[in-house]
Amino acid sequence: MLRGLVLDHAGVLTDPDAAALFDAVDLLRDRGVKTALLSNAPGATGAAKRRLEPFFDALVFSGEVGVAKPDERVFVLTADRLGLVPEQCVFVDDSAGNVRGAVAAGMVGVHHTSVNATLLELDALFSS
């Protein structure tokens, strides 16, 4: 059973239509789905962190944890921070290579090409 959603920042949550993704994150959290942001950025500034924290149970920045996507270890670490195993998580990224890394770690991968396509996939995956 899928119980976690992990989203990339740049390219996914910076999409011009990303407000709809943030709405979906809120709805999934209301249904008990744990959420994490996973970024290859060095870290987040105070303002950026404050803006993102209300949407996520965990914020994971490669620069802070010392391992970056697509390394399988960062996906395992992120799932662990949610109290889940990778097989319980969906990972969304605009980089196909990063999605392959998540799938190799055991996550369900969604290659983000547009907000509408991603929302359709998330709806199908979390519809139960």
Give me the pLDDT at residue 128, please.
Answer: 63
List domains and CATH numbers for the chain.
4-125 (3.40.50.1000)
Cβ-based burial of 18 (10 A; exposed 0-12, middle 13-18, buried ≥19)? middle
Tens-digit pLDDT string for the chain (128 aa):
999 999 999 999 999 999 999 999 999 999 999 999 999 988 777 788 888 999 999 999 999 999 999 999 999 999 999 999 999 999 999 999 999 999 999 999 999 999 999 999 999 999 96
Quick one: CA dihedral 15, 112, 40, 90, positive or negative? positive
Judge if the upstream peptide bond of residue 70 is cis by omega within 30 degrees of 0: yes
Give me the pLDDT at residue 125, please.
Answer: 97
Give me the pLDDT at residue 49, please.
Answer: 83
**Dist. CA 113–CA 37, nearest whole Å:** 18
Nearest Cα residue to 32 out of 75, 84, 86, 96: 84
- What pTM was computed for the model? 0.96
Give me the pLDDT at residue 25, please.
Answer: 97
**Dist. CA 2–CA 35, nearest whole Å:** 11
Give me the pLDDT at residue 83, please.
Answer: 98
Give me the pLDDT at residue 29, please.
Answer: 97
Contact indicator for 73, 38 with CB cutoff of 8 Å:
no
